[in-house]
């Protein structure tokens, strides 16, 4: 079974984040594998252990993402592809196009990605990729069963569980709870440095800039406003209700 | 030379494991003086304790440089590598001096974590640092040795399957040099307890699973002799440089943990209308402790580099241990002082780490004995002991 895992390196959201000139400041920031993608890597390795085959991990991102790919290799993936040509960077549309071009280079039976990246939280790339490739997808999985050609996915549907079946090839995305990712072992870390890691460029993928031109633009990036102290309304209940309605219309502008 | 990318990966790998074992985990164990089974299992499963075992015996075949980074990171995370560091290096005596059969029999099992060899019995109650005077004897009777005597402060015997034991096989009166006539036996603790070996735990000021051992006609198969009879002291000395470097790294890890903790607290704690860290009286001692830790770290890597290149490193390994143990102790003291009364409260972990790092002034070798080594062997001063 050939498995492709889409992986993004993100900053660790448990660390303090500083925004400077409309961008998250990168120096001093700790980068990790996007936690949802870590479940994807683990699931892929488990499938490989069960059925044999190869796990390829792919990332579209800057050269620092190599570290995240090496970690996935240390966990047990077999080879890695890093699309670190800046000409390949853009929005979710771009990334899905690039990933599709990479996915077409080999016959993958199953593609696993995280349900979303914790940095931008858009949750679009994987499902766009499935559309690009014209294959079915099942998202936010908490359990995955593969039997022959048949795939059964238990998906987290906003707190409910939905059971969806599909046939290979399929794309699935991982939700928290899918598995408990292993630690890279020491021997794994040693072997990882000897496993193949290919860098690909726009030209390698036979894409043109126009093919992958982003469809969206980031205008600004800012941190949520620190929470201000609330106001406690005083006086007669009737007056409080009036005051509250007023405030909702005029100050908070949530009722119009 | 160690590959910097690999070293970084190792750091990240160990940090990842440690992140699942926060201060509260160690605090709880400390209160119960319990062994960190779960942590040690995770570390073992991930193969980190097999770092120094060659690949042909199932280990990772790494050097002391990389191994030291692993232990450093454990302590730097607030944990205590003392619970398992010996699983890394005690096997060294089998690797260097054991027969091929012994190596094939034990090393792959140790590498896989199925066999724990992390007890090392040298110290005795009546002779202490004066190792060659030790009184525990082993007398050969046919295909076995009969062991009698007593050891003290032997750590992790209750959490180990095997123990490397230093005994006298030829009486002092019959050898030319006092360093002769000592031998190394591999004792199977699973079989020995209750059949000539009694283990009695010693409660110490920190959680270190240390014990007292009583040997009464304990039978050890002669095939468990490591190397040649009578040459054991040299075999033990051979392993000491690695141990010194690894312990130095743990101290560096402690030092960095203390400095981080002190810096964070000094920035946050506001009294007299300003963060305490704004006072030079508070920040200078922290800065000084940091300088000492960084300096000690250089000596540690210098010693490790020599060791891994197969070059003599006795002086550097000893100096690294002394500098690092001093630096971590200074950092501990500074962290405690910076925290004021809160440093004494268990939930800050400072008092626990303070107790833990204090050990390295005394064990596995006390500071004075390092100074006498440097005085005699590096500076050529007369032997003082
Ligand atoms: C928690 C813990 C765990 C331990 N684990 C182990 C273990 O697993 N295996 C093991 O074999 N041992 C272990 N030890 C023992 C440790 O190695 C010894 O405590 C240490 O070597 C010192 O020996 P001693 O305690 O007999 O002190 P002593 O030798 O009695 O020394 C007491 C003091 O006198 C000083 N001193 C002695 N002689 C001289 C001299 N000539 N010049 C100047 N100063 C001198 C020493 O530096 C020390 O400060 C452990 C000890 C502790 C506390």
Question: Who contacts A98 (Cβ-Cβ below 8 Å, separation ≥6)?
Answer: A60, A83, A88, A205, A207, A212
Q: Name the percent of chain A lying above pLDDT 90.
A: 77
User: Number of residue pairs across A and B with CB atoms under 8 Å?
Assistant: 46
Confidence of residue A251 (pLDDT cuts 50, 70, 90): confident
Query: Mind giving me the DSSP string for A83-112?
Result: E--GGG--SHHHHHHHHHHHHTTS--SEEE
**Count of H-run helices and E-run strands, chain B:** 13, 10
Quote the DSSP letter at residue B154.
Answer: E
Give per-residue pLDDT as tens, B92-143.
999 999 999 999 999 999 999 999 999 999 999 999 999 999 999 999 999 9
- For ligand 1, the distance from its centroid to the CA atom of residue B202, given in whole angstroms, is 15
Structure-model confidence comparison of residues A224 and B292, the more confident one: B292
- Reference B103, options B145, B143, B62, B53; nearest CA is B53
Confidence of residue A221 (pLDDT cuts 50, 70, 90): confident
Give per-residue pLDDT as tens, A94-127.
999 999 999 999 999 999 999 999 988 999 999 9
Q: What is the pTM of this model?
A: 0.87
Do residues B258 and B353 make contact, with C-beta atoms less than 8 angstroms apart?
yes
Chain B hits for A189, Cβ within 8 Å: 6, 9-10, 13
Does residue B150 surpass a pLDDT of 70? yes
Return the pLDDT at A253.
79
Mean pLDDT computed over B330-339: 98
d(CA B139, CA B380): 38
Beta carbons of B9 and A71 less than 8 Å apart: yes
DSSP SS3 for A150: strand
Which class is B117-231 in CATH?
mainly beta
> Distances from the Cα of B160 to the Cαs of A89, B43, B156, B178, B325, in angstroms?
54, 16, 6, 30, 26
Give A153 to chain B, closest Cα distance, Å: 29
What is the maximal distance between C-alpha atoms in chain B?
Answer: 78
What is the maximal distance between C-alpha atoms in chain A?
Answer: 74
Return the pLDDT at A43.
98
Taking all residues of chain A, what is their mean pLDDT, rounded to a whole number?
A: 93
Chain A hits for B45, Cβ within 8 Å: 183, 185
Q: Name the percent of chain B lying above pLDDT 70.
A: 100
Structure-model confidence comparison of residues B275 and B238, the more confident one: B275
Taking all residues of chain B, what is their mean pLDDT, rounded to a whole number?
A: 97
Locate the ligand 1 atom nearest the alpha carbon of residue B121 and give its number.
Answer: 11
Q: Which residue has the tokens 């990729």?
A: A129
Confidence of residue A29 (pLDDT cuts 50, 70, 90): confident
Task: Give the best residue of A69, A73, A75, A187 to mutate against chain B (max B CB count within 10 A).
Answer: A187
Pick the CATH number of B4-112 from 3.30.70.20, 3.40.190.10, 1.10.150.80, 1.10.540.10: 1.10.540.10
Instruction: Classify residue B14 by burial, with Cβ atoms within 10 Å: 0-12, 13-18, 19+.
Output: buried
The verdict on the CB of residue B204 being under 6 Å from ligand 1 is yes
Nearest CA to ligand 1 atom 45: B368
Does residue B1 surpass a pLDDT of 70? no
Give A156 to chain B, closest Cα distance, Å: 26
Q: Do domains B4-112 and B234-378 have the same CATH topology?
A: no
Q: Which helix (H) or strand (E) holds A79?
A: strand A79-83
Instruction: Identify the structural domains of chain A with CATH numbers, from first to last.
Output: 2-199 (3.40.50.620), 225-256 (no CATH)
Return the pLDDT at A193.
87
Nearest to A186 among B12, B42, B47 (CB): B47
Return the pLDDT at A256.
66
- Beta-strand relationship, B144-155 and A197-199: unpaired
Mean pLDDT computed over A229-252: 89
Give per-residue pLDDT as tens, B37-55.
999 999 999 999 999 999 9
Confidence of residue A155 (pLDDT cuts 50, 70, 90): very high
Nearest to A183 among B46, B60, B62 (CB): B46
Nearest CA to ligand 1 atom 37: B129
Do residues A250 and A243 make contact, with C-beta atoms less than 8 angstroms apart?
no
Structure-model confidence comparison of residues A252 and B261, the more confident one: B261
Beta carbons of A185 and B42 less than 8 Å apart: no
Q: What is the ipTM of this complex?
A: 0.76
Q: Which residue has the tokens 């405030």?
A: A247
Domain ranges of chain B: 4-112, 117-231, 234-378
Does residue B187 surpass a pLDDT of 70? yes
Give A145 to chain B, closest Cα distance, Å: 26
Give per-residue pLDDT as tens, B160-169.
999 999 999 9
- For ligand 1, the distance from its centroid to the CA atom of residue B129, given in whole angstroms, is 5
Superfamily of the domain at B234-378:
Butyryl-CoA Dehydrogenase, subunit A, domain 3 (1.20.140.10)
The verdict on the CB of residue B153 being under 6 Å from ligand 1 is yes
- Identify the active-site residue in B243, B250, B330, B351: B243
Give A188 to chain B, closest Cα distance, Å: 9
Locate the ligand 1 atom nearest the alpha carbon of residue B369 and give its number.
Answer: 47
Nearest CA to ligand 1 atom 44: B368
Beta carbons of A186 and B12 less than 8 Å apart: no
């Amino acid at each position: 079974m050939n498995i492709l895992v889409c992986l993004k390196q993100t900053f660790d959201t448990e660390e303090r984040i500083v925004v400077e000139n409309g961008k998250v400041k990168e120096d001093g920031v700790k980068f990790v594998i996007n936690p949802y993608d870590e479940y994807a890597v683990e699931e892929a390795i488990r499938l490989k252990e069960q059925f044999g085959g190869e796990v390829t991990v792919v990332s579209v991102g800057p050269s620092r993402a190599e570290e995240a790919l090496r970690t996935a290799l240390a966990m047990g993936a077999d080879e890695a592809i890093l699309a670190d040509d800046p000409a390949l960077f853009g929005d979710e549309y771009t990334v899905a196009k690039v990933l599709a071009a990479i996915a077409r280079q080999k016959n993958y039976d199953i593609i696993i990605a995280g349900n979303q990246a914790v940095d931008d939280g858009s949750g679009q790339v994987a499902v766009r990729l499935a559309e690009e490739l014209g294959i079915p997808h099942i998202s936010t999985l908490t359990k995955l069963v593969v039997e022959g050609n048949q795939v059964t996915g238990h998906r987290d549907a906003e707190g409910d569980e939905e059971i969806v079946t599909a046939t290979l090839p399929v794309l699935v995305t991982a939700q928290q709870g899918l598995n408990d990712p292993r630690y890279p072992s020491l021997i794994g870390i040693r072997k990882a440095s000897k496993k193949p890691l290919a860098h690909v460029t726009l030209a390698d993928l036979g894409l043109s800039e126009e093919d992958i031109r982003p469809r969206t633009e980031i205008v600004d990036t800012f941190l949520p406003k620190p929470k201000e102290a609330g106001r406690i309304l005083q006086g007669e209940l009737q007056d409080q209700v009036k005051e509250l309605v007023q405030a909702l219309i005029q100050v908070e502008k949530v009722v119009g | 030379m160690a590959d910097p990318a690999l070293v970084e990966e190792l750091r990240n790998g160990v940090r990842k494991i440690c992140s699942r074992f926060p201060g509260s985990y160690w605090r709880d164990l400390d209160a119960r003086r319990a062994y960190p089974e779960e942590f040690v299992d995770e570390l073992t499963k991930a193969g980190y304790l097999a770092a120094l075992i060659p690949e042909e015996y199932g280990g990772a075949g790494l050097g002391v440089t990389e191994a030291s980074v692993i232990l450093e990171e454990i302590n730097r995370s607030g944990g205590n590598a003392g619970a398992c560091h010996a699983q890394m290096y005690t096997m060294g005596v089998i690797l260097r001096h054991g027969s091929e059969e012994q190596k094939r029999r034990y090393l792959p099992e140790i590498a896989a974590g199925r066999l724990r060899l992390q007890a090392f019995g040298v110290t005795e109650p009546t002779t202490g640092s004066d190792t060659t005077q030790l009184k525990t004897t082993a007398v050969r009777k046919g295909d076995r040795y009969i062991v009698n005597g007593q050891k003290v402060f032997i750590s992790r015997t209750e959490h180990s399957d095997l123990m490397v034991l230093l005994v006298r096989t030829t009486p002092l009166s019959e050898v030319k040099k006092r360093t002769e006539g000592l031998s190394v036996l591999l004792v199977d603790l699973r079989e020995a307890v209750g059949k000539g070996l009694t283990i009695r735990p010693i409660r110490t000021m920190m959680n270190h699973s240390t014990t007292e051992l009583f040997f009464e006609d304990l039978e050890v198969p002669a095939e468990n002799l490591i190397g040649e009879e009578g040459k054991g002291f040299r075999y033990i000395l051979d392993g000491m440089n690695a141990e010194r470097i690894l312990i130095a790294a743990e101290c560096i890890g402690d030092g960095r943990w203390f400095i981080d903790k002190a810096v964070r607290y000094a920035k946050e704690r506001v009294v007299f209308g300003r963060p305490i860290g704004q006072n030079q009286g508070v920040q200078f001692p922290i800065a000084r402790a940091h300088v000492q830790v960084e300096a000690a770290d250089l000596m540690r890597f210098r010693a490790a580099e020599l060791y891994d290149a197969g070059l003599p490193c006795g002086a550097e390994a000893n100096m690294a241990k002394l500098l690092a143990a001093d630096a971590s102790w200074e950092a501990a003291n500074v962290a405690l002082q910076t925290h004021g009364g809160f440093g004494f409260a268990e939930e800050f972990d400072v008092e626990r780490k303070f107790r833990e790092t204090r050990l390295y002034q005394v064990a596995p070798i006390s500071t004075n004995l390092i100074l006498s080594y440097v005085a005699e062997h590096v500076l050529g001063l007369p032997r003082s002991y």
